[in-house]
Amino acid sequence: MKTLYLVVPCYNEEECLTDSSVVLKEKVNQLIEKKLISENSRILFVNDGSKDKTWEVIDKLHKEDKIFQGVCLSRNRGHQNACLAGLDYAKDYADMLITIDADLQDDPNTIEDMVKKYLNGAEVVYGVRSKRKKDSFFKRFTAESYYKLLQKMGVDIIYNHADYRLMSKRVVTELLKFPEVNLFLRGMVPQIGFKSDVVTYERLERTKGEYKYPLKKMLALAWNGITSFSVKPLKMILNFGIFLTVISVLCAIVFTVLFLTKVMNYEFGAYIIMTIGLATGILLIGMGVLGEYIGKILQEVKARPRYIISRVLNDEDNND
C-alpha cells in the first residue's frame, strides 16, 4: 500500500494550525480506513522561519500524535523554498506527496480524488480552481491576468493552478535535480513531464490568520516566473529599441528638413527635450530588466543553499 505525505508550508500560521491539523488528520485517517494509503502516511508541517509560535504549535501537535511531523528552516526562505524543503525531506519516506497551504483554502476534500488519480497512473495531479465567483472583481481580474500574462510570456503554467498538487516520489526526485535558486514551482513541475491529471475545486475562505499573497507578492511571483522561464522581455526590449531607433532617424530627417526650410523655431526644442527624456526612460527600464536577469545569473552562479533545516520532528524524534 502506498504512503502519502502531506507537505504543509507554514509562515506565521499559529492561529490556524490547530484547526487545520484536525481537518488534515481526519482526511488522512479516512484514506487509511478506505485502504487507499498506508498507515505510515504523515502530515509534515514546514516552518518557514515564522515569527510567532508556529513551531511551538507544531511541536505540541507532534508530541500528541506522531502522524504530525515537522521541519523547521533556520530562517524565512519563502513559500517556494519551504515547499521544496518539505518535499526533499519527505521523498525518502513517501510514495506520493501533496503540497497544500496551512490555511486550507485549497479544499482538502479533493485529496482523495488526487490519490485515486495517482493510483490510476497519474504521477502529477494538479489542483485547479473551477471558478472564482467568491473573489472580488479586482482579485479575479488580477489573478486571471496573472496566468494569462505568464502564458503569453511563454511560461508553461497550468491556468488557475497554484501550488496545490500531488507528485509521485519519482517526480519529486526529478524536480530536485533542477539546481536553480530562483524557484517558481508552478513553472518547473510541468517541465518534468510524466503522466499528469487535474482535479478541480472551489477555493474556500480563510477563517483565521492573514492572507499571505497580497497583490505585491503576486506581482513579485509573476515577475520571478517570467524572468526565470522566459527571455521574451529581452526580445521586447530589442524590438522596441529597433523601433525607437527608426523613429529617431525619421525625426532627425524631418527636423533637418524643417530647419533648412526655416520652418523650425525654438518651440521644437521642447519636443526634442521630451523625446530625449522618453528615450532615456526607456533605456533605463531596459537596463533594469537586463539587470534583473544578470542579478539572477549571479545568484545561480554562487549556488548558495536554498534553505537550511535547523530542526526535525519525525517518528524517531530526532531533534538535532
Digit-coded pLDDT (tens) for 47-59: 999 999 999 999 9
Give the global pTM: 0.72
Predicted confidence at residue 54, as pLDDT, reads: 94
Calculated CA dihedral for residues 146, 152, 157, 159, nearest 10 degrees: 60
The closest alpha carbon to 305, from 189, 220, 180, 187, belongs to: 180
Is there a contact between 95 and 2 (Cβ–Cβ < 8 Å)? yes
Average pLDDT, the chain: 81
- In this prediction, residues 205-212 reach a mean pLDDT of 58
Predicted confidence at residue 224, as pLDDT, reads: 67
Domain limits of the chain?
4-136+162-211+307-313, 232-302
Domain over 4-136+162-211+307-313 is classified CATH 3.90.550.10: yes
Question: Which residues, 6+ apart, have CB-to-CB distance to 7 below 8 Å?
Answer: 44, 46, 83, 86, 87, 90, 97, 98, 99, 100
Band of pLDDT at residue 319, cut at 50, 70 and 90: very low
Is there a contact between 112 and 199 (Cβ–Cβ < 8 Å)? no
- In this predicted structure, the answer to whether residue 250 has a pLDDT above a threshold of 50 is yes
- In this prediction, residues 276-304 reach a mean pLDDT of 71
- In this predicted structure, the answer to whether residue 85 has a pLDDT above a threshold of 60 is yes
Is there a contact between 97 and 7 (Cβ–Cβ < 8 Å)? yes
Cell numbers that stand for 185 in this block: 514551482
- In this prediction, residues 225-252 reach a mean pLDDT of 70
Is there a contact between 173 and 192 (Cβ–Cβ < 8 Å)? no
Strand pairing report for 161-168 and 68-73: unpaired
Band of pLDDT at residue 84, cut at 50, 70 and 90: very high
- In this prediction, residues 95-104 reach a mean pLDDT of 93
- In this prediction, residues 311-318 reach a mean pLDDT of 76
